[in-house]
Amino acid sequence: MPLSWTALGQFRQDAPLYAVVGVYALAAWTLSLYLGDVQKYKPFQYVLLWMVASTLILAVIGVVRAFRNDPGRPVSSFVSLVKKHWNRDFLQRLPIILAVGVFYGVFTSVKVMLPDIHPVNWDPHLAAIDYELLGNRDGWRLVAAIIPDGLPLEIMDFIYSRAWFVLIMSFGAYVATAPAMRHQCRQ
């Protein structure tokens, strides 16, 4: 079957996801118009980063696999892996990778607009409730006593910022190379 028909079939199969992302993007854009904050609507802010990071992660995985498969000829092994995975299935998955990148951009746009929807005025009230629940002590002081400056905070920062970033970006790499799932109903 030609690539165009196969890709069209895959696109149809993924159409519900594209529809959800499209409706979400349209709703967020409408919200930005209503709030008068169109500059905060950036649905494509992560797409390039998403593609570059996914490509780098794929390259690292490919190099590791190439050395593991044939340590004596890693370049040949890498080329073989690229030929194996750079096929129709990969090209068919590009739209879904892009859709996920757009989803994250729209999500961040909406998150940035939240203070425009409703100003953050509950912080003092919630802090007062925390203070009373914690025996007339500030929660941040208790946390600072448990988790001192230094290595624990650096580990938490690493996990939250860098490890999470790699995990999220690895999703795109996985989607691009995972074997196509074929669901068949047998009666």
Q: What is the pLDDT of residues 110-144, one digit of tens each?
A: 999 998 988 878 888 999 999 999 999 998 888 88
CA–CA distance, 112 with 107 (Å, rounded to integer): 9
pTM: 0.68
Contact indicator for 6, 92 with CB cutoff of 8 Å? yes
CA–CA distance, 94 with 175 (Å, rounded to integer): 9
Contact indicator for 30, 85 with CB cutoff of 8 Å? no
Q: With DSSP H G I counted as helix, E B as strand and the rest as coil, what are the percentages for the chain, rounded to 5?
A: 80, 0, 20
Digit-coded pLDDT (tens) for 50-71: 778 877 887 888 888 889 989 9
What is the CB neighbour count within 10 angstroms for residue 21?
Answer: 19
**Mean pLDDT of the 144-158 span:** 81
Q: Does residue 93 carry a pLDDT above 50?
A: yes
pLDDT of residue 89: 63
CA–CA distance, 59 with 45 (Å, rounded to integer): 23
